[in-house]
Amino acid sequence: MTRRRADTLANAVGLVTLGFGVVLTAMPRRGAAALGLGDRPVLARAVGLTDLVVGSGVLCGHPRWPWMAARAAVNLALTGCYAVEAIRSDGGRRAYTGAIAMASLTVVDATLARALAAQRGGQ
């Protein structure tokens, strides 16, 4: 992956992460329901605040790769939250889909973190 492409992808990831952070922080109950996290507004707000920090780091951090790695770790934790919600709720389809999406994003973010680290010599 070229440096320019990795930076472009990191910018897109950072902006999307910030967007989710704003929504989940401002409207945690609606955000949790829309994303399949059930009636868990505290979790949604915590994710939102985390997204605000991590998204800012992805966009402004130097180096950027640790922030992408942090995003991958958060996604992995969210995969577990979605899996628990899928098991415990009647609306498990949305939560099950969320678990699959978060697991996929974990792989994408970890791959991008590795590419960013490699291009900067791990700095």
In a domain, 104, yes or no: yes
Query: Quick check: 25 pLDDT over 50?
Result: yes
In a domain, 122, yes or no: no
pLDDT tens digits for 28-78? 999 998 888 888 999 999 999 999 999 999 999 999 999 999 999 999 999
Structure token digits, residue 40: 């868990």
Global pTM value:
0.88
- Are 106 and 72 in contact by the 8 Å Cβ rule? The answer is yes
Say whether pLDDT at 123 is over 70: no
Half-sphere exposure of 113 (CA within 13 A, CB side): 19
What does the alpha-carbon distance between residue 35 and residue 56 come to, in Å, rounded to a whole number? Answer: 22
Which is more confidently placed, 2 or 25? 25
Residue type, 111: T
Domain that holds residue 106: 3-117
- Total count of domains within the chain: 1
pLDDT of residue 86: 87
* Residue 27 CB burial class (10 angstroms; 0-12, 13-18, ≥19): middle
Note whether residue 30 is domain-resident: yes
Residue 123: inside a domain, yes or no? no
